[in-house]
Chain A
């Protein structure tokens, strides 16, 4: 088990170096950047490529870590906050590597990965989260949680793109970042959020079906359910705003970020502070 955790911990360092290489082109003009550039002698694109390779290595190490955990525990590694968190980061990076590598989100993805992995290893992994309670020992666990991770990881990328869009459209910041290309990221964010909405719907529905199977009620308005519903409503508003009413990209970007924040709240606050039927899925 400690092997698995150590391998995952090393990925934090990989992501840190990767994040550094991602911002190197931006530091290029500053004196520090200039000095580093003298030593490394890399082209601007070269830095990005190094960073991308490092991201791939970091992701692979998380995947190996999860695989080891899976083999040792002989159960789906989706049963508690720690496992959810590392699987989420693995999938977020896989999404980035496979679909969004040409967009300038590598740095933010790295920072987010470092943040999540540090919290997971420092606070969520207490060595006691090995055994699953009987209610979780079911095929619904794999289905429901996998869908949740898929949708949250894509919502995260949507929110990151929206965040970048808002920054690019801010005139003051824009002067600083004039060198960055912006290939219609608002359209891309919009597409992601719209395409993932059905998957989030499916997540909630599978959750309801599982709840009926385990507790005898589809919907009990426990905190987790309520917040999933809130997230669903926010993205429903987003969908109507983008397809039916033609809201401005700025407004949509704000909603995308709010939606992502509700996901975060649902993960951190609801699991730790508020108890409910889902509370055993906590730390």
Chain B
């Protein structure tokens, strides 16, 4: 009901704006109008969702180009038609969300009319091109945001702040593409449609490359899932351990103010940090009690292999140190002799140690969370990075979570009950025990 009222109000507003916009305004040349309508429909359908920091917005560019091209004849009416068309998308049509469609089209039409009126006024005042484009872009953007915010609120109930946060990073790009669009629109009078193709060909090619990038990111994610599946088939403890390490690492990363992209990298690194365990025979992974010298040597060798495999993948390289156990010490000098190790390696090392202590292994029962915290704090600054230790303890305390003895999320049954002593703290528990025993 509310949506219908909003939609009819929007249509009314468009009608008033067209009449008031520019009395006596003519229709644009039919061929020019048809060209830009076709262009905007095409630009709209081929839209690819991009991360907001590089929003290649062909439809905004086309609207700006159309305004510049219509200057002189049919400015307001042309902008209204092209703006209206930029509200049409196949998905809204297919899903028959009529109210959303009407609101979208009217709000784009209104923004277009406002921008065109600004452009025309600035042209009459003989304002220089850059300032004119700036004013036009701001008019379009302000109307767009001002109309979209209430509409999104009514139709989907998204919070104001969220919508604004989504839009804000794209503003600089909008200015650049707005300028570009206007420039090309001005060229339309001399070069015709060729001018627009000059601009759109590179943007379309870049957009295609970007969608290949997104496809490959998905494939990469899938590859990591293959690894997780494989490790699950081999050893459920390691699979769950991996997921907990990933979670703790993300808690720390968020607390340390990592960007979205860096968190994504941290997540992938944490998920892959135990890849070498796939090469360790199953009976050694879960062997209760001490390993023989021969077995220990085998596990050592596999740990070595694990480090080398991680070293093959650039984004996992920082993890090689963590996989090397005692080489992951915070005060243990630089990584690979090439200066300081990135924070990610320390984060995963702390998460790994914390989970190793607070879960039951074949060779040792889980420790209480307080003991694990104490151990982390004891070795903070020597074995562990102090910032990461603080971040983890703060994050877990703040959330009121409980881990460790009595709070384990998976109770593993062993043939031989594991002893309840020792503070092992690395990925390969077998090695830690042997080291501790040595």
Check if A and B associate: no
Interface of B with A (CB < 8 Å)?
none
